[in-house]
Amino acid sequence: MFGPNSESVTTTRDVIAVLVPQGDKVHVPADTECYITQALGGSYTIYIQGRLLRVDGADADALGKEPVTGPELPNNASDEDVEKLVWEQLRTVYDPEIPVDIAELGLVYDCKINKIDEDNRSVDITMTLTAPGCGMGDILVADVKAKVEKIPTVTQSNVELVFDPPWTQDMMSEAARLQLGMI
């Protein structure tokens, strides 16, 4: 039923997870048996009683895993260094149902770094979803915002979700298509 990388675990404490694809928050009590079906980008997709749920990396300890830490930035980093790290962070955001990050899927349309002052920057990101009605949209936007704001010197971010132009499979990278068996 599960892939070769699935892992059976029992929750070590109560945790709030997000129902996939609806996006509703669900309480998962301690000592619940589940399967980790996807562990990418620091978040976990788990299977419990016929339902898929997403557990944030900050709550990884509830699954017996190490919580995710933030990225590091060298001293005197340039805007280019920050932009590179932003894209690295975007490559850690995954749709819980698709094992490809949002950058490779072509969901990120634009990313701009703005210097607020010597020590602070803001990041503006424009992105879309594979389907406009996806219930995980707010969750993915919040994940992008949280991961970008973990970057040292990034003190604020704005993530705009748009549907024009509409996403198509042509926007995926060749690596994403290969990973999904489309090549």
When mean pLDDT is compared across 2-6, 22-26, 90-94, 165-169, the lowest value belongs to 2-6
Range of the domain at 139: 79-179
Mind listing the pLDDT tens digit for each residue in 13-67? Answer: 999 999 988 888 999 999 999 999 988 888 899 999 999 999 988 899 999 999 8
Helix/strand/coil for 4: coil
Residues 129, 89 share a domain:
yes
DSSP 88: H
Helix (H, G, I), strand (E, B) or coil at 6: coil
- For residues 52 and 90, state if they share a domain: no
One domain for residues 83 and 58: no
Closest CA to 89 of 174, 38, 146, 155: 146
Q: Does residue 112 register a pLDDT over 80?
A: yes
90 and 27 share one domain: no
Contact at 8 Å (CB) between 164 and 133? no
